[in-house]
A and B are shown apart, each in its own frame.
Chain A
Amino acid sequence: MSAFPTESLLDELKSQLPGVQVELLRNEAPSAQHSWLVASKDAIVVASWLLEEAGFDYCSNVTGVDWPDYLEVVYHLYSVEKRLGPVVLRMRTEDRGEKVHLPSLAPLWRSAEFQEREVFDLFGIIFDGHWDLRRILMWDEFVGHPMRRDYVEPDDYEYEPTAHDEIAEKARKHAASAGGAE
């Protein structure tokens, strides 16, 4: 499988839509699937161009990534009609605290409906414009976002006869919090 040349498509986009903020992020792995980093204010414009002008009618994968300073959402777009792809679209939040809003692309590609819900559920990115942004895998009353790297697991330690290393440490903490009953 040879990699899809996204550079020429990006040049085409920039010539047709001057002023949009898109940056090419190179991927050094042999897969050479380079990605486009889109400013969240221009995301809808760029995505609509990809869907309507460039024919990328199929959004295969939507996922979140937790980086130390920001959260990121990644879309893998393909064209069923022209059999091209992938165009990898990325958007970044401003920080990891309050400013985690990004525009939803579910109105353009319906396949993002459940997948954006999953990213909201597990990473806590809020998609503005999504019509049904609820938790999907975790239950509604759940607090926190388990795929974030700073997520602290609940203290639901179960007895293990040969605990060692971090499990032994966890067991000791559990015993202390449960009043020493071990």
Chain B
Amino acid sequence: MNSDLLHGVPADTITRREVSYDHEGETLEVSMGPHHPSTHGVFRMDVKLEGERIVRLKPVLGYLHRNHEKLGEKSTYLGSIPYTDRLDYFCSMTNNWAYCIAVEQLAAFEVPERAQYLRVILAELTRLQNHASAVGFLVQDMGASGTPLMYAFRQREKILDLFEALSGSRMMCNYMRFGGCRVDLPAGWLDQLKVLMNGFPAFLDEFEKLLVSNEILMARTQGIGEVSAKIAINAGITGPMLRAAGVNYDLRKVDGYGIYPRFDFKVPLGEHGDVYDRYMVRVLEMRESVKILNQAIAQLPEGPILDPKAKLRGFRPKAGESYGRIEAPKGELGFYLISDGSPNPYRYRIRPPSFVNLTVLEDMCLGANIADAVIILGSVDIVLGEVDR
């Protein structure tokens, strides 16, 4: 072998550079994203590293920005409902509900009993499939490729089948209307739901057995990305992330919107506010959702599903404003509407939970390893359709 050749290239054509192994005090700036798979969409983190430790992290958003709020101002009140599906595309049912609550406050519609129950059933199903996949994705981010996520997705798909049978679409349900719901349950739907609910605790048992006391999972998540209760409240963190920090604030209990006060359920709380607690709160919330669902199925009354006063097309509320909020699976989802009496809202604002929850991302990641930043972001549970709007 010719010694003048280095990997088959003449040695003198390669410029040799001085190599320094003295990296003390030097920082490296890494752009994580926007196409990094762990960012769950198009999201970028501008990370400054010292070795593997993060010394600065700036989130860069807006890759999916389409000025949803301007679209809302240009469209009628009814016309905005399908657009709300596309905010948090995992949870279109709860997006619909939050928007409908804001409109109902603007016009004082009475939602019929049956529609109230249907809303609770669908919102809790949404929470189940969101939390199942959030936990699955989190484990995926830790490097357990595929299998745990597929356990979650197998169950999620059964719920999406129910959504499809009811609304015609798996994810873009466009189901709720101000003053009620769009269509009633198809034949056999409730029986299918009962079968699913009977099997769900077994799925949760299996899922928990696989993950909760898993040593690797505990080592990766405990004590990582901690947020104290005080900072969490001040920074407007909501949802499982807030409750993982030990703050008992669930809008289903606090506001008691819809008919939630009728149901018996608990609000799981964490203690440390780390990644493990966030993950555990989600697992426990799924158990509570199953409890709510079983009660709602048992109590579901017959009757109309839409307020006869509700005028969907050509709806013009009187001038005024309203802020309606619900406990969406990711946190507090609010809609702020200002009406000037015309068919379009004068101002249509969405308060997205995952956008505000990102406020403390840098605080959580400082001092952590770069591999931990991936799971810290995963534990926030963001959907970029909602962050960027």
Contact = CB atoms under 8 A, between A and B. Distances in A.
Interface residues of A, number: 35
B387 to A, nearest CB: 9
Interface stretch (A16-24, A39-47, A132-140, A157-165): A132-140
A58 interface: yes
A143 interface: no
A113 interface: yes
Interface size range of chain B in the complex: 35 or more
B57 to A, nearest CB: 13
A28 B234 contact: no
Interface in B313-356: 317-325, 332, 334, 336, 338-339, 346-347, 349, 351, 355-356
Interface in B252-304: 254-257
Interface string B33-75: 0000000000000000000000000000110010101100000
Contact of B322 (A33, A74, A115, A137): A33
Interface in B199-242: 231, 233-237
A111 B356 contact: yes
B105 A31 contact: yes
Contacts of A29: 105-107, 317-322, 339
Interface of B: 61-62, 65, 67, 69-70, 105-108, 231, 233-237, 247, 249, 254-257, 317-325, 332, 334, 336, 338-339, 346-347, 349, 351, 355-356, 358-360, 388-389
B323 A1 contact: no
A58 B318 contact: no
Contact of B236 (A35, A74, A110, A139): A110
A147 to B, nearest CB: 6
B334 A31 contact: no
Summarize A's interface: helix, strand, loop or mixed: loop
27 contacts: A1-B256, A29-B318, A29-B319, A29-B321, A30-B105, A30-B322, A31-B321, A31-B322, A31-B323, A33-B321, A33-B322, A33-B323, A57-B233, A60-B236, A61-B336, A63-B336, A63-B347, A65-B338, A65-B347, A83-B249, A86-B323, A111-B236, A136-B62, A137-B62, A138-B62, A139-B62, A147-B69
Nearest to B325: A60
A80 B331 CA distance: 14
A147 B349 CA distance: 11
Contact of A27 (B231, B247, B321): B321
Interface of A: 1, 27-31, 33, 35, 57-61, 63, 65, 74, 76, 80, 83, 86, 88, 109-115, 122, 136-139, 146-147
